[in-house]
Amino acid sequence: MSDQRRKWITLSSQTVFGNRWIEVKSYKTIAPTGAAADYGLVHIRNLAIGVLPIDESGHTYLVGQERFAFDLYSWELPEGGGPRDVPPLETAKRELAEETGLSARRWLPLLEDVHLSNSVTDERAYAFLAWDLASGADGEKDSTEDLSLRRLPFQEAVKMAVSGEITDAFSLMMLLKADYLARTGSLPEPLARVMFSQP
């Protein structure tokens, strides 16, 4: 292996599709190996934002919905998209309110600038742990979403992640990282304790 970094070279590009969420481009390139390559890239216009809420009894909340790409029903943590010029935490607060009706007084960054599918998209993701929750928050609903809400112990959600019942990569990262941080003493002690208060 060489320590010398060789980059992709772009010869030309063409936009082949676009809407308010994505832009698809086709590129003629030279790969770092020197080989000519056709490359397709999906530009995601918004940041991906996720929230892992933990209530006072150690429960979290999963959102269920039909996902078009795989034609299946998916249980996920609250997540959505936010403009790139808006602070991720601001979008996270909005998403939590829209999808669960909750607000949180305490927030902690969980994932920062994670690349969810870096072979075909430039999507960037940010996630937060939210606790000290209150109900009654209201948010504007997306007209394409028919959501279900499920409250369950945090450790049960982690088991769903490990067993494959949760398949959304962003949710898996949030759950497993939070579980690791709680187990290794990297979260506030009262929060970590409540996350393990349920079987």
For residue range 146-188, list pLDDT tens digits in order. Answer: 789 999 999 999 999 999 999 999 999 999 999 999 999 999 9
Structure-token pair, residue 132: 């000290």
| pLDDT of the residue at 16 | 96
Q: How confident is the model at residue 142 (pLDDT cuts 50, 70, 90)?
A: low
In this structure, are strands 59-67 and 72-76 parallel, antiparallel, or unpaired?
antiparallel
pTM of the model: 0.90
- What is the mean pLDDT of the segment spanning 134-156? 82
Distance separating alpha carbons of residues 67 and 44, to the nearest angstrom: 17
- What is the mean pLDDT of the segment spanning 20-44? 95
User: Which residues have C-beta within 8 Å of that of residue 196, sequence separation ≥ 6?
Assistant: 58, 154, 155, 182
List domains and CATH numbers for the chain: 9-43 (no CATH), 46-104+135-195 (3.90.79.10)
- What is the mean pLDDT of the segment spanning 81-85? 96
Q: DSSP characters for 78-111?
A: SEEEEETTS-HHHHHHHHHHHHHSEEEEEEEEEE
Sign of CA dihedral 185, 198, 131, 21: positive
Average pLDDT, the chain: 93
- What is the mean pLDDT of the segment spanning 9-20? 95
Residue whose token pair is 């039909």? 66
- What is the mean pLDDT of the segment spanning 132-142? 79
